[in-house]
Amino acid sequence: MSPAAKQILILGGGFAGVYTARALEKLLRPEEATITLVNRENYWVYQPMLSEVISGSIGVANVVSPIRRLCPRTNLVTREIEDIDLANKIVTVSPGFRPRQLKLHYDYLVIALGNVTNFYGMPGMLENALPFKTLADAMVLRNHVIRTLEEADVEEDPELRRKLLTFVVGGGGFSGVEVIAELNDFVRAVKGNYLRLRNQPHRAVLVHSRNRILQEMAEPLALFAQKTLRKRGVEIILEDRLVAATSEKAILKSGVQIPCKTIVCTVPSTLPPVIEKLKCSKEKGKLLTNTDLELKNYEGQVWALGDCTAVKAVSGSEAPPTAQHAIREATTAATNIAAAIRGGGRAQFAFEGLGTLGSLGHGAAVAQIFGVKLSGLIAWVLWRCIYLMKMPGLNRKARIASDWTLHLLFPPDLAQTKLEPESGIQNQHFEAGDVVFQQGDLGDSVYVIEEGECDVLQEMDGSQKLLATLQAGDYFGEMALLSDQSRNATIRARTAMNVLIIPKDDFNKLRHSVPAFGEIFRALARQRAQPAVNTSDSVGT
C-alpha cells in the first residue's frame, strides 16, 4: 500500500457495494488506491436464490459468497456502521471484541447500504413476524418451520395443531412469492415423514395489498403465477395486508385473523438509521444523486447507489431496486471514482433493465425478458440457467449445480439446527381476549405490563371467577416462579396489551445477584397470597 494511495471506503456488501469493489479492483492499481469495504456480514447474499435455502434445494453456505474471495484486494471490515461524518470524512463503525469504536478515514466514499426491515406501527410484528433478508433470516425461518412440524406431530390439541400447520407470508412481490412457494413445496415434501401429519392439511397463505401479485410483471404472468400457486395449495388473499401479530395469530387490515405460529413479512422496508440521520439532499428519504451517481453537494467525493438511493437513469426513469440495476450502478460509480483519482472517461447511468424473472417453486416460474413473456417449466429452466450463470465464481456455480442435482434425486433434508437465540428478556404483544397463560401451566416467566389491561381469572369448582384486573406497571406471574408451582390463575388480555417477559432463568439470576430486585416481587407475592381484603390484592399467578 503506497502512502500516496487514496483511501476508498465502500459502505455495504450487497450487489451495489460488492460490484463497486470488484470494478475498482480492475480499474485501479494497488498503489493508486486502497479499497476498504464495511459490511455487517463477511459474505454477500445472492438474494435471487435465498428462498431456496428454506426447502434446502441449495445448501445454506452456497447461497452466499465470502466477500474476501469476491474482492480479494479489498480490506473487509465486518462491523456495523454507526455514523457517517461527511464534513470530516470519517465513518464510525461498531466495536468488536473490545468495546471501542473504530473510526475510518476516507478520501472517496461509496454509500450502498440498501434498506432494512421496519415493523414500526405494526403491533406485535417485531416480536412475532420473521423478516426475510439475510442468510440468518432464511436459516431461522427454515428451522422455525421444521420446529412447527415437530411440535404439530406431538400436539394432541387440534386447534394448536392447526395453528402450527398454518404459514402466513405478507407481501406478494418477488420475495414474498418465492418464500411462500418454497415454504409450501417444503412442507408438502416432508410432511410424509411425520407419522401423525401425513393426512393433516396445512395452510400456506400469501397476503398482498394490491389486486394481483407480482406488480412488477405484466398482468397475464401475474395471473399465471396466482393460478399456479393456488393449484399447489397456496391461499392468496388480495387487497388486504398484515397490520398486527401475536404469538398465536396474524391480523389483517380487514379485521380477518389467521391463527398461526409462523408469520413471514417481506414487505415493510425503510432506510437504515444511519442514512436517516445523514444530513444531505434526499428524495423521499433516499439519497439524491446526479446521473454520475455523485451525492448532491459532495460531487467528486461521495457516490451513492443501490436501494438507499434515488437513482435516475439519463432518460429520467427511476432505477428499481433490483440486482441487475445495482450491478450497472456499481460500474458507473467505479468508473467515475477511477476518473476522479487518475482522470479518464466518466460514465453516466443509462441502464433501463433487461426484464424480470420470478420463481414459483419447483418446476414453475414466470419471466419477461426483452419483452418476451414466458411461464411454467420453460421459464423455470431459464430462471435457473440465468441465475446460475450470474453467480460469480466457478466454486459457487459447481456447488449450486451439485445441490440442485442432489435435490432432484433425493427428498429435502429436514434436520432442525437449534441455533435460534435463547429467549432472554423480551417484549410481547397480546390482542384483547388473548390468553397469556392458563391456570395449570408451568410457571416459565414473569410479566410486566407496559401498556393495556388484563384480567386475572381463577377456575374454581367448575366456574370462572374474576380475581382482579391489572394495568400498566403491574407485574404478574411471579408467584408460580417463586413457589416453583404451576399457574394458579389464568391471565387474559382485556385490551390490546404490551408486556415485558422475564424468563425464569433470567429472573432467578437477577434475584439471586440483586436481592433488592427479588424483594420487589417477593413483597408483591406475599401481599397477593394473603386472604383477599379487596380483590386486586390477591392475585397469585
Q: What is the 3-state secondary structure (H, E, C) of 424-446?
A: CCEEEEECCCCEEECCCCECCEE
For residue 138, the minimal CB distance to a copy of itself (Å) is 10
Judged by CB under 8 A, the chain residues 469 through 498 that form the site for a copy of itself are: 473, 475
Is residue 101 involved in binding a copy of itself (CB under 8 A)?
A: yes
Which CB, 41 or 235, lies closer to a copy of itself? 41
C-beta of residue 153 within 8 angstroms of C-beta of residue 197:
yes
- The one-character DSSP state at 402 is H
Which CB, 284 or 484, lies closer to a copy of itself? 484
Is residue 395 involved in binding a copy of itself (CB under 8 A)?
A: yes
Judged by CB under 8 A, the chain residues 45 through 64 that form the site for a copy of itself are: 56, 59-61, 64
- The one-character DSSP state at 362 is T
Q: Which stretch binds a copy of itself (CB under 8 A): 138-146, 234-242, 252-260, 353-361?
A: 138-146
For residue 201, the minimal CB distance to a copy of itself (Å) is 19
Is residue 5 involved in binding a copy of itself (CB under 8 A)?
A: no
Is residue 80 involved in binding a copy of itself (CB under 8 A)?
A: no
Strand 102-105 to strand 90-93: parallel, antiparallel, or no bridges (unpaired)? antiparallel
Is residue 315 involved in binding a copy of itself (CB under 8 A)?
A: no
For residue 23, the minimal CB distance to a copy of itself (Å) is 19
Is residue 434 involved in binding a copy of itself (CB under 8 A)?
A: no
Which CB, 390 or 399, lies closer to a copy of itself? 399
Of these, 422, 463, 531, 533, which contacts a copy of itself (CB under 8 A)?
A: 422
Which CB, 293 or 502, lies closer to a copy of itself? 502
Which CB, 73 or 390, lies closer to a copy of itself? 73
Classify burial at 134, counting beta carbons within 10 Å of its beta carbon; exposed 0-12, middle 13-18, buried 19 or more.
middle
What b/e readout covers 110-131, taking b as 16+ CB neighbours within 10 angstroms? bbbbbbbbbbeebbbbbbbbbb
Is residue 425 involved in binding a copy of itself (CB under 8 A)?
A: yes
C-beta of residue 108 within 8 angstroms of C-beta of residue 10:
no
Angle between helices 394-409 and 377-390 (to 10 degrees): 150
Site string for a copy of itself, 198-237 (x = CB under 8 A): ----------------------------------------
Judged by CB under 8 A, the chain residues 494 through 523 that form the site for a copy of itself are: 500, 502, 506, 509-510, 512-517, 520
Residue labelled with grid coordinates 380477518:
256
Site string for a copy of itself, 142-171 (x = CB under 8 A): ----xx--xx-xxx-x--x---x-------
Strand 234-237 to strand 203-207: parallel, antiparallel, or no bridges (unpaired)? parallel
Residue in 478, 489, 465 with CA at minimum distance from that of residue 523: 478
Give the residue ranges of DSSP H helices in 310-393.
323-342, 377-390
CA distance 167 to 234: 10
Give the H/E segment covering residue 24.
helix 15-27
Which CB, 230 or 512, lies closer to a copy of itself? 512
Judged by CB under 8 A, the chain residues 350 through 379 that form the site for a copy of itself are: none
Report residue 140: phi and psi, to 5°. -60, -45
CA distance 164 to 260: 6
Is residue 256 involved in binding a copy of itself (CB under 8 A)?
A: no
Is residue 411 involved in binding a copy of itself (CB under 8 A)?
A: yes
Classify burial at 185, counting beta carbons within 10 Å of its beta carbon; exposed 0-12, middle 13-18, buried 19 or more.
buried
For residue 177, the minimal CB distance to a copy of itself (Å) is 25
For 405, the 3-state DSSP assignment is helix
C-beta of residue 437 within 8 angstroms of C-beta of residue 491:
yes
Contacting residues for 350 by C-beta, under 8 A, at least 6 apart: 291, 313, 314, 315
Judged by CB under 8 A, the chain residues 450 through 469 that form the site for a copy of itself are: 450
Which CB, 2 or 42, lies closer to a copy of itself? 42
Report residue 409: phi and psi, to 5°. -90, -30
Which CB, 232 or 487, lies closer to a copy of itself? 487
Which CB, 161 or 325, lies closer to a copy of itself? 161
Of these, 75, 92, 324, 471, which contacts a copy of itself (CB under 8 A)?
A: 75
Q: Which stretch binds a copy of itself (CB under 8 A): 93-101, 123-131, 264-272, 341-349?
A: 93-101
